[in-house]
Amino acid sequence: MGSITETLKPAPYGPAVHLPAPYPEKTLFPLSLAASQPNTHIVHLVSEIEELSSSEKLRTLLDKHGAVYFQNLGLKNAEEFSQFAHAFGWTAHEDIGNPVRRTIHAKNVATANEGPNTQPVYPHNEFGLSPHYPAYVFFYCAAAPETGAYHAYFEMLPGV
């Protein structure tokens, strides 16, 4: 697969796995995309995501791969991540009745957990008891630690 857009191209991602049948052979989960050029400006990323989303290319990639992992985009802060996430054009989720306290860092960008970083965050879903839940979920890591801090989502995949 060549470049998806002028700004995004497929990139290797260690935890990705090839899905078994009934998926087509060599279908990766998740598909990983990275910036084609280092230091791509947020304006260009936003423009490419808007095009990907409006042309249905993104929907096709999500349907085929189940998830898209964007890496090495050079997003500098929560505000740029917010711009990136809003470029998809999806209706933003409104937190209604969520008992979990979160620190807001930018429009629709908040912390996932306010607990101490010495304690694990076990699988949970605070929206599991509500009919009001997000259609899409974005995760953003501003600074990854040397060890740990992976998302438990991958624990359910065989061979990961």
Q: What are 13-23's pLDDT values in tens digits?
A: 988 999 998 88
Q: Mean per-residue pLDDT for 99-126? A: 79
Domain that holds residue 37: 8-156
Query: What is the number of structural domains in the chain?
Result: 1
Residue 77 lies in a domain: yes
Note whether residue 16 is domain-resident. Answer: yes
Task: State residue 29 phi and psi, 5-degree precision.
Answer: -130, 120
**Average pLDDT value for the chain:** 83
Distance in angstroms (rounded) separating the CA atoms of residues 98 and 102: 10
* Alpha-carbon separation of residue 116 from 42, 72, 139, 144 (angstroms): 31, 27, 19, 16
3 within some domain = no
Q: Is the residue at 2 inside a domain?
A: no
Domain presence at residue 30:
yes
Give the whole-angstrom CA distance, residue 116 versus residue 107: 24
- Check pLDDT > 60 for residue 33: yes
The residue type at 39? N
DSSP 109: E
Whether 1 is covered by a domain: the verdict is no
Q: Partners of 31 in the beta sheet?
A: 68
> Which bin fits 46, alpha (ψ -120 to 50), beta or left (φ > 0)?
alpha
Tens digit of each residue's pLDDT (9 = 90 or more) over 35-75: 988 889 999 999 999 999 999 999 999 999 999 999 999 99
Query: Does residue 32 carry a pLDDT above 80?
Result: yes
